[in-house]
Amino acid sequence: MNTLKSNTHWTLYSLIAVTVIAIGFGVYRSQRSAASPQALPEKQAAQAGSLAALKPSVELGTVSMAAGKVSFGYLIKNTGTTPLVINRVFTSCMCTSATLVVGSERKGPFGMPGHGLPNATKAPLAPGEIASVQVVFDPAAHGPSGLGRIERTVTLQSAEAPPLELRMGVLVKP
């Protein structure tokens, strides 16, 4: 009986030891693979696009409602190695509109989704190509409730690259 009890303990301890070793090895392998950078497969790397702004944020300073609309622009660039298509352009508020200019072609104006202006476009951008986004901000669009610090964004979306957000800040006075 004592031998049977001894064999059962030995078997139980062996199973526990093997389990602990397996778990430890699994943790070691997962930590090692997480720490080492892995190359993208060739097909994925070739498709990776990148859309960047030369200056992604603009500070307009103080703007008077009485002075009317303010126009300004951003320069954007396809910094990837493959062409990309800008599929959608939209603004964060109806007081702001954006027009995309690629070469001699103008697309837009685009506005806030659901507020009259369309948002869909198919604007191709070759690797290294630079385009501009012409923005018009209307400080009087919100009336007296639109006074003070205002921040707005223009977003460009492409299936080949993460969305690009262009930011604008302004202090609106009467």
Domain locations along the chain = 1-38, 46-173
What pLDDT score was predicted for residue 53? 94
What pLDDT score was predicted for residue 37? 40
State both tokens at 139: 């400080």
143: left (phi over 0), alpha (psi -120 to 50) or beta: left
What pLDDT score was predicted for residue 8? 65
What pLDDT score was predicted for residue 23? 65
CATH of range 46-173; options 2.60.40.10, 1.10.10.60, 3.40.50.620, 3.40.50.11290 = 2.60.40.10
Listed in sequence order, the residues at least 6 apart from 76 whose beta carbon sits closer than 8 Å to its beta carbon are: 51, 52, 53, 54, 125, 130, 131, 132, 133, 156, 164, 166
What pLDDT score was predicted for residue 103? 92
What pLDDT score was predicted for residue 76? 96
Listed in sequence order, the residues at least 6 apart from 164 whose beta carbon sits closer than 8 Å to its beta carbon are: 51, 52, 53, 56, 76, 155, 156
What pLDDT score was predicted for residue 26? 56
- 147 vs 131: CA distance, rounded Å: 32
Listed in sequence order, the residues at least 6 apart from 88 whose beta carbon sits closer than 8 Å to its beta carbon are: 119, 120, 121, 155, 156, 157
State both tokens at 97: 């509109």
What pLDDT score was predicted for residue 47? 39
- 141 vs 118: CA distance, rounded Å: 19
State both tokens at 18: 């093997």
Residues of the chain with pLDDT under 50: 33-47
- 147 vs 63: CA distance, rounded Å: 10
In which order are the strands placed within the sheet that holds 130-137?
51-53, 70-78, 130-137, 96-102, 105-110
Give yes or no for a contact between 166 and 156, defined as CB atoms under 8 angstroms apart. yes
- 41 vs 126: CA distance, rounded Å: 22
| pLDDT tens, position by position, 67-97 | 899 999 999 999 999 999 999 999 999 999 9
What pLDDT score was predicted for residue 115? 77
What pLDDT score was predicted for residue 114? 82
Cβ-count burial of 89 within 10 angstroms (0-12 exposed, 13-18 middle, 19+ buried)? buried
